Amino acid sequence: MDTSERAVGTRRPQRRRWTVEEKRRIVEETLAAGGSVARVARAHGVNANQVFQWRRQYRQGLLGPGNEETVSLLPVHVTQGLAQEAVSLSGEVERQTALGMIQVKLPKGQVRITGRIDAESLRVVLECLLG
């Protein structure tokens, strides 16, 4: 049967066209505290994968105004620390790792923390910088 000979009165359902405002509103629902992409997508009759695609577009600024709080990443440079051997007072050789350093360059200066850098120190630095 030729596809051009379809029965009269049978039509394909039309695809739903979402406006930019609707997409942005749906994405913002997923970004709210406790928001779930699956739940929001189901509530609006949208496939969750489509909502994830809209979220990417939102973060790229492609869904218009309303996403002023985009996250910009900072460059990170990781250098290898050198291990050193030290002789303790008892004469035993102890292996010590070199001290670490966190350096953040800002427009009006820089913040540098040297010494043993642990997760707690890093958390405090980031909290202070992010306000």
Span 64-121, pLDDT tens digits? 765 455 556 667 777 665 545 555 555 555 555 556 777 777 777 777 777 777 778 7
The one-letter amino acid at 60 = Q
d(CA 60, CA 126): 24
Q: Enumerate the β-bridge partners of residue 104.
A: 111
- Whether the model pTM is above 0.75: no
- Please compute, for residue 52, the number of CA atoms within 13 A of its CA located in the half-sphere on the CB side: 4
Alpha helices in 15-111 (DSSP H): 20-31, 37-44, 48-59
